[in-house]
Amino acid sequence: MAPTVRQETLFGGEDIVEQSQAAQPGTDRQTSAAEHRTARGGKLPYLGRALHLSCALLFAAMGVLVLMRESTIRVWEARLATLILDRFFAEDTMFVTSAGSPAIGFTFGEEWLVARVTIQCAIALYLGPVAFLAAALSLSPRTNLLRVLGATVIGMSAMILLNQLRLLAICHAWGNGGHAAFGWVHGPFGTAFMLLGLTGVLLLFFRIVMRQRSAG
């Protein structure tokens, strides 16, 4: 309790002194709260930048890992395509290895065909850039990391689906039109198809992530 200084004047000096001394504890509390908010404000931007940098490094590392392990990913890619072909037009399918590459063995009519999944068809070549794009966007402190993660998952899933459709079209063209149709679908058509898919992923990132940054 603050000491009271008794002063009797014509202007009520006693009341003035008591009120001034009584208000000091409240002023100290307000100053302490303001200092606490300032300290927190200084820490939060630092923690936010550290979080964004960590996420960017994780996305970049994922992109590098995907590209380094593309041969392993191609094995699973071929196995998945084998299962899909068995549900559509192929009478029988099996996963095989041809010339050192994972391949899709399938029957078309009475003939067995083998479609090798080479590096030209590797989905890793498309998943890596998606991860690098996510890493670049994560570096900005204004970017919502959950939106980046969501766009990355959706974009990668879309590219995997598109590449499976491409493999399905290649196998069907080979069975129906032989090597000429195979070369056309595998080359110009397949490349254009996947490039359009990548363009769609870029637009998806722009809509989900970049538009949110502009609004913020």
pLDDT digits (tens, 9 = 90+) for 74-83: 999 999 999 9
How far apart are the C-alpha atoms of 133 and 53, rounded to whole Å? 14
DSSP 114: E
Of the candidates 114, 84, 112, 85, the one whose C-alpha atom is nearest the C-alpha of residue 99 is 114
Q: What is the mean pLDDT of the chain?
A: 80
pLDDT score at 110? 79
How far apart are the C-alpha atoms of 149 and 181, rounded to whole Å? 39
DSSP 22: H
How far apart are the C-alpha atoms of 44 and 106, rounded to whole Å? 58
Give me Rg for the CA atoms of the chain: 32
pLDDT score at 19? 47
How far apart are the C-alpha atoms of 43 and 47, rounded to whole Å? 6
Q: Is 103 exposed, middle or buried (0-12, 13-18, 19+ CB in 10 A)?
A: buried
173: CB partners within 8 A, 6+ apart:
181, 182, 184, 185, 186
| CB 120, CB 101: distance < 8 Å | no
How far apart are the C-alpha atoms of 123 and 77, rounded to whole Å? 8
Q: What is the mean pLDDT of residues 34-47?
A: 57
Residue 26 reports pLDDT greater than 70: no
pLDDT score at 173? 87
Residue 158 reports pLDDT greater than 80: yes
Q: Which residue has the higher pLDDT, 36 or 67?
A: 67
pLDDT band at 39, cuts 50/70/90? very low
pLDDT digits (tens, 9 = 90+) for 185-206: 888 888 888 889 888 888 888 7
pTM across the whole model: 0.73
How far apart are the C-alpha atoms of 166 and 170, rounded to whole Å? 6
Residue 20 reports pLDDT greater than 60: no
Residue 5 reports pLDDT greater than 50: no
pLDDT score at 212? 53
Q: What is the mean pLDDT of residues 52-64?
A: 95
pLDDT score at 7? 46
